[in-house]
Amino acid sequence: MRLDIPTIILNFKAFREALGNHALELAKTAEKVSLETGVQVAVCPCLTDLQNVVNHVSIPVLAQHCDPHKPGPFTGSVVAESLKTIGVVGSLLNHSEKRMKLSDLTLSVTRLRENGLISVVCADDVSAAVAAAALKPDAVAVEPPELIGTGISVSTAKPEVVSEAVARVKTANPNVVVLCGAGVSTAEDVRKAVMLGAEGVLLSTAYVKSRDPEKLLREMCLATKG
């Protein structure tokens, strides 16, 4: 599987509002909006909710993390084979809240690829995004950590980061999808990101904690179309 363009990835993190039945409700809402707008929406539930969400929605479901190991004596680890077995299509990697050593990140991208799964590598800045692209993931999400969860979008606060990341990542590896993350909260944030060259967005807080997540997501999906 490959990510469609444009794409919106919703990271549920471990927010109380996105655990258990709440995760399923948010995923079903995302599925409804995706089908109605024709824009790909993927969801990243907490590890313990992955199987339930996969069983009940048709949109792509990604894990929030994948360890670099092969199956074996690695207590508490999440291996690519286990994700594939339950129907997960890929994983986020190296989120600022779940950082990875370069050696582990490299192996995790490889392990996901070997199992036919998508890798979405998060990067703090342009240089990190270019380095991530060299690992040949499916996508790189540029997320300045100081803006994550603030409600201040990188496409508004630091538009040059988005445009430069797109240009340099595409030069390094034109096959990598470039996403914009950190503080994405409104349809206007999404529209600006797309205008700057981003091929989609990665967001969390705005959707998970929204009083009307369906309305917000629909507006964001439509904003990807200009």
List the binding residues for substrate. 11-13, 148, 183
Q: How far is Cα 79 from Cα 113, in angstroms, rounded to an integer?
A: 12
Q: Answer whether 162's CB lies under 8 Å from 142's CB.
A: yes
Instruction: Clarify whether 143 is annotated catalytic.
Output: yes
- Buried b / exposed e over 201-211, threshold 16 CB at 10 Å, is bbbbbbbbebe
| Contacts with 195 (C-beta within 8 Å, 6 or more apart), sequence order | 226
Which string of DSSP letters, residue by residue, matches 147-212? GTTSS--HHHH-HHHHHHHHHHHHHH-TTSEEEEESS--SHHHHHHHHHTT-SEEEE-HHHHT-SS
| Residue ranges at the known binding site | 11-13, 148, 183
Residue whose entry in the numeric block shows the structure tokens 């950082």:
99
Given the residues 65, 143, 164, 199, the one annotated as active site: 143
Given the residues 65, 81, 95, 146, the one annotated as active site: 95
Is 94 strand, coil or helix? coil
Q: Answer whether 186's CB lies under 8 Å from 149's CB.
A: no
Is 91 strand, coil or helix? strand
Instruction: Clarify whether 69 is annotated catalytic.
Output: no
Is 87 strand, coil or helix? coil
- Buried b / exposed e over 133-142, threshold 16 CB at 10 Å, is bebebbbbbb
Among all residues, which ones are annotated catalytic? Answer: 95, 143
